[in-house]
Chains A and B, each alone.
Chain A
């Protein structure tokens, strides 16, 4: 029994760290405003020895998240030129061209 208790104590700390890391990830992913970020930062700061290094990671991840959600620049050309109906609708009136050529070219 004593040995089992000591074994449990030996594995308890890493387990807590894993759980806290998981919580941190969830908090960052679900954050919608600064208060959440602050909460996550506080958690990170209070619970992990390497709190100082965690903040830059969060900032980087913020930047990555911001960039990932920005839409690509719109190419007005392709909006029209990939739309058959729009091309038909905006086409210039077709002029009948009567060729005056005679014979093989």
Chain B
């Protein structure tokens, strides 16, 4: 996406904007400033991004939306704080808050950064002459921020990998699955399915993968999820595996994001050790009622023990509290993938599992809960009863012996 010219960022559509609802509001009502033909005078007290204070601006007309803003992960960035709180010490909270403000807060998105301008993270600027778009642009809003992983995967920007079938064939934008309701932090209407006495209000999520799974593949692909269709793999594995285990392809993982303040410019910056494509099945670190799967796809996040070394030593004392290979839902779904080629595409294929040998030694302890110790054995033949004994030793950390008896159908 080409950056906007300075004049493009502030050019208001003189023909269409005045006729809109928001065009009836005087500029100063939201932006402050002074009525003057002199630029410097006019910009005295200017508020460039009034929706940063949503309650006072947008909330005057949209109280229903703004009232749930505190639950909006785009606003509160609670997902970051959830993992930071688990890895850091309360004693360092003040310094961590400073680090967060310098390096992480850019991901905060105000109302305007979805509905009228590009995110500040990519330079900001009006998208449509100040006309407010109820539906944000997939490319100029959503993937402007969610670009390096979701955007590239969904739009098929990786060489040799197709775009997600929901986009490629379904022409579905982000909003097809991620409703405005979800984006605004509004609790789902639990009562639609759960009547009394289970009637309750969903607790605001503390992470993108917390709480009710919304959106979920199962919401549309009901028979597949229940194993009620004619696809044998669905019948065998429905509910045990997340859908992405079979229907995703290689996605981006990242290593070691180190943050600092530049000596020359004084600006904050980051440097990652590397990014790479890969596909890894591991044990579900977020197994719950809402995400009951045993095996899921995992993505490596760039957390390292020395992420914040610029600011001080040992600022992640509880580094091992969480795995560095995390639950992920790659947005590159395909009907046919290497995994769906046959049962033995996964059974007996250690390459696609997150085994101990694929984990950095310094991260082994953190990832014990997600490492796959036992690779499912190859499927031999129909009606055979196979007794399997596996002994796997991984870098002196663990040894397991497992005996499995089951009857399999042919691939």
Contact = CB atoms under 8 A, between A and B. Distances in A.
11 contacts: A76-B35, A76-B36, A76-B37, A77-B27, A80-B37, A80-B39, A81-B10, A87-B7, A90-B39, A100-B267, A103-B254
Contacts of A91: 6-7
**B interface: dominant SS:** mixed
B100 interface: no
Interface residues of B, number: 33
B355 to A, nearest CB: 25
Nearest to A90: B39
A82 B252 contact: no
A98 B271 CA distance: 14
B254 A104 contact: yes
A95 to B, nearest CB: 10
B319 to A, nearest CB: 20
Contacts of B271: 101-103
Contact of A94 (B6, B27, B28, B262): B6
A39 B38 CA distance: 49
Contact of A82 (B12, B28, B31, B272): B12
Give chain A's interface residue range (CB within 8 Å of chain B). Answer: 20 to 34
Contact of B269 (A75, A76, A82, A99): A99
A82 B14 contact: yes
B10 A104 contact: no
A78 B270 contact: no
A82 B27 CA distance: 13
A46 B270 CA distance: 89
Contact of A77 (B7, B28, B267): B28
B11 A84 contact: yes
A92 interface: yes
B369 interface: no
B376 interface: no
Interface of B: 6-7, 10-14, 18, 26-28, 31, 33, 35-37, 39, 42, 148-149, 252, 254, 257, 262, 265, 267, 269-275
Interface in A59-93: 75-82, 84, 87-88, 90-92
A88 B274 CA distance: 40
Contacts of A98: 265
Given A81-B10, A84-B11, A75 B42 contact: no
A77 B39 CA distance: 9
A105 interface: yes
A63 to B, nearest CB: 24
Contact of A87 (B10, B36, B273): B10
